[in-house]
Chain A
Amino acid sequence: MNAIETLLASVLQKHASPSRREFLKTSGRLVVSFTAASHLAPLAAFAQGAGPYPDPDYKQLDSWIVIHQDNTATFFVGKTDLGQGTGTAFRQIMSDELDFDFARTTCIMGTTNITVDQGGSGGSDALQTDGYPMRRVAAEARRVLLDMASQRLGVPVGQLSVSDSVVSVTANPSQRVTYGELIGGNRFNIALTGDNINQTTGIAKMKSVRDMKNVGMSHRRDDIPSKVDASPVWAVGVKVPGMVHARNVKPPVAGAECVSVDESSVSGMPGFIRVVRERNYIAVVCEREEQAIAAARRLKVTWSKPTAAPFPSSDKLFDYMRAAKPTSSPAPTANGDIEAGLKSAATRIEAEYEVPFQGHTSIGPAHALADPSNGQMTIYSNDMKSYGLRTGVAQFLKIPRDQVRVVWMQGPQVYGRTAADDAGFEAAFLAQQIGRPVRVQWMRDEETAWDTKGPAYVMKMRGGLDAQGNLVALDYEALAADYGHLGYNEFDTVLIAQLTGRRKQTPAAGGYDAPDDMYAVPNRRSAGHVVSLPLVWETPLRTGNLRDPNGPQVTFAGESFIDELATAAKADPVDFRMRLLTAGKTDDPNFKRARSIAVVKAAADKFGWAPRPSPAPRATGDIATGRGFAYAYRNQTVVANAVDVEVNRRTGRVWVKRIVCSHDCGLVINPEALRGTIEGALLHGLSRALHEEVTFDAEKVTSVDWRTSPTMTHADTPAQIDVVLVNGDPNPNRPDLQHYGAGEAALKPMLAAVANAIYDATGVRMRRAPFRPQRVLAALKG
């Protein structure tokens, strides 16, 4: 074993449950199988391929489940768990389908040559989409095992019972056999079907929800122990023999061209190895980390500034967006006749809302280690889409996919398309250039300035009420700076492809989103336009998916404006919403309208919401208090947030004292892990509501560290958070109740809920996020 094999083995040992250690003991090949030719999953089946890392074949049961002689099981799934407990949840659903003792299972995720390609993470689809093939293959394994038991015990399957991986004859329970005895150490050799991995299935049917016993239990997350005891589970901590350290040198001005690099400015520095430059991509490689940092700072590079400004400064951004000619205007969605509806209204109001660019701003800047030894390429990364990284790197380096693998490991916060993608490509590129393992680590200013951004939005709302205060017309028109939007791990759009000039010609068209609600409004239109900034490539203001990519922006407008309409109608904001939800008579196939009604009601009940119009009667004193409400759905998950705020009229500081979140994501697999995920999403939304904004002058991003790019801290934390898990399905006990995603939805209504509460407290409407103290103070002074 080389050092990394030892490390990986120790990673598995270290955060292993007893069963995982058993697994290691009983499958010695696991420990020694990290070398290129063999595999972590000793029984997995592989598709044909030339290189050392062929794809595990998802149509073979052995690729998903291994049952060991000691009656433990290992599940191999193609997902990554970014700290939401999805890995534990996968064990729960698969244990239930398989009838296995949960405590004797482990789950291995996201390493491209040992786990089937389920795409890694994204879109909160871990359970909503990818959980189903896992359930079906586990059910199939149970079916096969019962057949084997029937032969072994000489009784028909119908006369057998199974519990915790022990099969017994129902009429004579002393006649029994364990799964481990039936198959331990051997292959299932069972072919599965399905045109794509999401459709993977055997013959067996999934269980009824009623028959699942681990589902609904708050098993402790199995990733947590290794995160509190400094186990070597982190991509930042991997070391391989001969590895060296690289730091990037980024253009000081967006769109600048590198004229020349003076290597002699650093070549005498300790540990210096090489400057690698291709067009505008520049990196310095040194033996030690601090040497690479020093050399990258010292390197003399001559840049020529672009002739035209790459973008307006951030204080002129929204003016610029309003004046810009849209690059595309996708067809609006509409019902009724919006203009006629507005014209007929007794009361008409309109308002515009603005959300700036906001960043991922990961707590740990992007990084990756690439090892090019023996003609293969291994990348150690925390990228949530390890499979895409593998394919993209192979394309970028023009080497066969089968020679590339990505080992997914723990890492700092990844809630979408982050620079973890970029760092993986850079490490692989540099490793190929240097011929040694290279670790790339972005610096803080680089991360904060150059990571992908959530798009800025300007949203114009118009609404009309009839004489009774009913909403008869609702118009939404967005301008989204969602230009040149980046996909995940695309070999021709990652930052190094742009900077080296190996990018594709035409940027993605981008798009816009509209509010997601189930309000029935007779005349309604949602329209939008994509606007671009002058510099589309090689810009630090590139956009990419950030946790619920457009939801927080558009819901800020949509749900703030609903409150403005409620005020115009002199109605209570919750009652007003409830009327709009109950006005519709049809529902969607997943009962989203019924579930929306249940969720709104649950949030109001838990909060103790007493009906009255907003704003609250004015009180005197420095501290104004108020409450706010907002609701939305994301995909199939429905959520409503109610908050209590204190606004300090003297300082402008807003403190959200209490959050109530009611949340319906269908069948809940692990309530405690779900609550943790929801709390994180709520506070992420709060941080974006109160603090987060990318600032820039007309040359470069100026928010580059935690002073210039403030985030929520312990001091802002609410005193109380109540999460109410709702099951608003009209038939909540149905056997096929589905599990929907939960990684993002709770964030979505947060900006609007806080803005509505500030209005309730002060009578001042914040239509521009974030609600930083200076901005609130200025608004209060009016």
Chain B
Amino acid sequence: MANFTLSVNGRPQTVDVEPTTPLLYVLRNDLDLQGPRFGCGLGQCGSCTVLMNGVATRSCVTPVSAVKGPITTLEGLAKDGQLHPVQQAWIDEQVPACGFCQNGQMLTAVALLQRTPKPTDTQIRDAMAPVLCRCFTYYRIQKAVKRAAGVQA
């Protein structure tokens, strides 16, 4: 075991775990966060997404020892009790079905809009394609991304 100090949602956090422990389990089990979720553990689905230095990153295949830079989880999106515009768009478009995948969908959208504030349809499809939804809410997700970006749906 070893000590690791992470910055999570703007707060320093120290955990004592094996260096190979996936960041996902540290966030869920040691830091009690609900946002990142186990979907595959293989980097294939996106359910476990967090932002690392603002980049959408799969925490299930990121060993805690490889974390470089601040982590933002779904919990960290809202500011001063105000939902992030992406979260608000998800409510306005009534996106989630079961909701399990939506952590990865929203964080991937946040990262996309930071890079590309006014994405085209193709840019949205390309950026979001690696994040799977098995309730198939894709159509609404894409509308919500456009709404959050303020581009015509």
Interface size classification for chain B: 35 or more
Complex alpha-carbon distance, A220 and B88, angstroms: 13
Q: What's the minimum C-beta distance from A224 to chain B, rounded to whole angstroms?
A: 6
Do residues A230 and B139 form an inter-chain contact, with CB atoms below 8 A? no
Do residues B94 and A672 form an inter-chain contact, with CB atoms below 8 A? yes
Do residues B100 and A364 form an inter-chain contact, with CB atoms below 8 A? yes
Do residues A83 and B97 form an inter-chain contact, with CB atoms below 8 A? yes
Complex alpha-carbon distance, A441 and B121, angstroms: 37
**Chain A residue contacts of B25, Cβ below 8 A:** 288-290
**Chain B residue contacts of A232, Cβ below 8 A:** 34
Interface: A684 (CB within 8 A): yes
Complex alpha-carbon distance, A742 and B97, angstroms: 14
Complex alpha-carbon distance, A715 and B128, angstroms: 8
**Chain B residue contacts of A221, Cβ below 8 A:** 94
Do residues B94 and A363 form an inter-chain contact, with CB atoms below 8 A? no
Interface: B47 (CB within 8 A): yes
Nearest residue (CB) in B for A720 is B139
Residue-wise, chain B 108-125 has the 8 Å CB interface mask toward A (1 for contact) of: 000000000000010011
**CB-contacts of B96-153 with A (<8 A):** 96-103, 106, 121, 124-126, 128-142
**Chain B residue contacts of A229, Cβ below 8 A:** 74-75, 78, 83, 87
Q: What's the minimum C-beta distance from A270 to chain B, rounded to whole angstroms?
A: 7
Do residues A705 and B40 form an inter-chain contact, with CB atoms below 8 A? yes
Task: Pick the residue among B20, B44, B130, B138 that contacts A683 (CB under 8 A).
Answer: B138
**Chain B residue contacts of A410, Cβ below 8 A:** 98-100
Do residues B138 and A228 form an inter-chain contact, with CB atoms below 8 A? no
Do residues B38 and A230 form an inter-chain contact, with CB atoms below 8 A? no
Do residues B98 and A413 form an inter-chain contact, with CB atoms below 8 A? yes
**Chain A residue contacts of B138, Cβ below 8 A:** 683, 712-714, 716-717
Nearest residue (CB) in B for A364 is B100
Complex alpha-carbon distance, A441 and B83, angstroms: 31
Task: Pick the residue among B41, B100, B140 that contacts A679 (CB under 8 A).
Answer: B140
Do residues B134 and A362 form an inter-chain contact, with CB atoms below 8 A? yes
Task: Pick the residue among B29, B38, B134 that contacts A711 (CB under 8 A).
Answer: B134
**Chain A residue contacts of B44, Cβ below 8 A:** 444, 705-707
Q: What's the minimum C-beta distance from A718 to chain B, rounded to whole angstroms?
A: 7
Q: What's the minimum C-beta distance from B29 to chain A, rounded to whole angstroms?
A: 6
Task: Pick the residue among B20, B28, B97 that contacts A82 (CB under 8 A).
Answer: B97
Nearest residue (CB) in A for B78 is A229
Interface: B73 (CB within 8 A): yes
On whether A714 and B129 interact (CB within 8 A), knowing A229-B83, A236-B37, A707-B44, the answer reads yes
Do residues B45 and A714 form an inter-chain contact, with CB atoms below 8 A? no
Do residues B35 and A230 form an inter-chain contact, with CB atoms below 8 A? yes
Nearest residue (CB) in A for B136 is A683
Complex alpha-carbon distance, A501 and B92, angstroms: 51
**Chain B residue contacts of A227, Cβ below 8 A:** 96, 98-99, 102
Do residues B38 and A363 form an inter-chain contact, with CB atoms below 8 A? no
**Chain A residue contacts of B106, Cβ below 8 A:** 228
Interface: A443 (CB within 8 A): yes
Do residues A411 and B100 form an inter-chain contact, with CB atoms below 8 A? yes
Complex alpha-carbon distance, A718 and B141, angstroms: 12
Do residues A236 and B38 form an inter-chain contact, with CB atoms below 8 A? yes
**Chain B residue contacts of A705, Cβ below 8 A:** 40, 42, 44
Q: What's the minimum C-beta distance from A747 to chain B, rounded to whole angstroms?
A: 10
**Chain B residue contacts of A361, Cβ below 8 A:** 134
Do residues B34 and A230 form an inter-chain contact, with CB atoms below 8 A? yes
Interface: A156 (CB within 8 A): no
Do residues B132 and A237 form an inter-chain contact, with CB atoms below 8 A? no
Nearest residue (CB) in B for A686 is B136
Interface: A231 (CB within 8 A): yes
On whether A412 and B74 interact (CB within 8 A), knowing A363-B132, A707-B44, A714-B128, the answer reads no
Do residues B96 and A83 form an inter-chain contact, with CB atoms below 8 A? yes
Complex alpha-carbon distance, A719 and B1, angstroms: 50
Complex alpha-carbon distance, A718 and B131, angstroms: 17
Interface: B65 (CB within 8 A): no
**Chain A residue contacts of B28, Cβ below 8 A:** 237, 289
Interface size classification for chain A: 35 or more
**Chain A residue contacts of B139, Cβ below 8 A:** 679, 683, 717-718, 721
Q: What's the minimum C-beta distance from B131 to chain A, rounded to whole angstroms?
A: 7
Do residues A680 and B37 form an inter-chain contact, with CB atoms below 8 A? no
**Chain B residue contacts of A683, Cβ below 8 A:** 136, 138-139
Do residues B39 and A364 form an inter-chain contact, with CB atoms below 8 A? yes
Do residues B100 and A412 form an inter-chain contact, with CB atoms below 8 A? yes
Residue-wise, chain A 667-696 has the 8 Å CB interface mask toward B (1 for contact) of: 000001100110110111011000000000
**Chain A residue contacts of B125, Cβ below 8 A:** 714-715, 717
Interface: B21 (CB within 8 A): yes
**Chain B residue contacts of A194, Cβ below 8 A:** none
On whether A234 and B34 interact (CB within 8 A), knowing A83-B97, A414-B98, the answer reads yes
Interface: B80 (CB within 8 A): no
Do residues A364 and B38 form an inter-chain contact, with CB atoms below 8 A? yes
Do residues B21 and A290 form an inter-chain contact, with CB atoms below 8 A? yes
Q: What's the minimum C-beta distance from B96 to chain A, rounded to whole angstroms?
A: 4
**CB-contacts of A389-422 with B (<8 A):** 410-414
**Chain A residue contacts of B41, Cβ below 8 A:** 293, 443-444
Interface: A84 (CB within 8 A): yes
Complex alpha-carbon distance, A335 and B32, angstroms: 63
**Chain A residue contacts of B136, Cβ below 8 A:** 679-680, 682-684, 686-687, 712
Interface: A21 (CB within 8 A): no
Do residues A706 and B83 form an inter-chain contact, with CB atoms below 8 A? no
Interface: A611 (CB within 8 A): no
Complex alpha-carbon distance, A289 and B23, angstroms: 12
Q: What's the minimum C-beta distance from A365 to chain B, rounded to whole angstroms?
A: 7
**Chain A residue contacts of B61, Cβ below 8 A:** none
Do residues B99 and A363 form an inter-chain contact, with CB atoms below 8 A? no
Complex alpha-carbon distance, A223 and B97, angstroms: 9
Q: Which of A413, A682, A684, A714 has the most CB of B within 10 A?
A: A714
**Chain B residue contacts of A718, Cβ below 8 A:** 139
Complex alpha-carbon distance, A188 and B128, angstroms: 52
Do residues B45 and A706 form an inter-chain contact, with CB atoms below 8 A? yes
Interface: B55 (CB within 8 A): no
**Chain A residue contacts of B29, Cβ below 8 A:** 288-289
**Chain B residue contacts of A682, Cβ below 8 A:** 136
Nearest residue (CB) in A for B121 is A719
Do residues B96 and A706 form an inter-chain contact, with CB atoms below 8 A? no
**Chain B residue contacts of A187, Cβ below 8 A:** none
Q: What's the minimum C-beta distance from A409 to chain B, rounded to whole angstroms?
A: 11
Do residues B18 and A270 form an inter-chain contact, with CB atoms below 8 A? yes
Do residues A706 and B132 form an inter-chain contact, with CB atoms below 8 A? yes
Do residues A84 and B97 form an inter-chain contact, with CB atoms below 8 A? yes
Do residues B132 and A711 form an inter-chain contact, with CB atoms below 8 A? yes
Q: What's the minimum C-beta distance from A382 to chain B, rounded to whole angstroms?
A: 8
Complex alpha-carbon distance, A441 and B25, angstroms: 13
Do residues A83 and B38 form an inter-chain contact, with CB atoms below 8 A? no
Nearest residue (CB) in A for B98 is A83
Interface: A49 (CB within 8 A): no
Do residues B34 and A413 form an inter-chain contact, with CB atoms below 8 A? no
**CB-contacts of A205-257 with B (<8 A):** 220-221, 223-225, 227-232, 234, 236-237, 239
**Chain A residue contacts of B83, Cβ below 8 A:** 228-229
Q: What's the minimum C-beta distance from B23 to chain A, rounded to whole angstroms?
A: 11
Complex alpha-carbon distance, A289 and B29, angstroms: 8
Nearest residue (CB) in B for A270 is B18
**Chain B residue contacts of A444, Cβ below 8 A:** 39-42, 44
On whether A363 and B97 interact (CB within 8 A), knowing A229-B83, A230-B73, the answer reads no
A-B contact pairs, 16 of them (CB 8 A): A230-B34, A230-B35, A230-B73, A234-B37, A236-B37, A239-B32, A290-B21, A290-B22, A363-B135, A412-B39, A684-B136, A687-B136, A705-B40, A714-B124, A715-B125, A721-B139
Known: A230-B33, A683-B139. 19 other contacts (CB 8 A): A221-B94, A225-B91, A230-B34, A230-B35, A234-B100, A237-B34, A289-B25, A290-B18, A290-B20, A363-B98, A363-B101, A363-B135, A410-B100, A412-B134, A680-B97, A680-B135, A706-B45, A707-B44, A712-B136
Q: Using CB atoms and an 8 Å cutoff, list the residues of chain B in contact with chain A.
A: 1, 17-18, 20-22, 25, 28-29, 32-35, 37-42, 44-45, 47, 73-75, 78, 83, 87, 90-91, 94-103, 106, 121, 124-126, 128-142
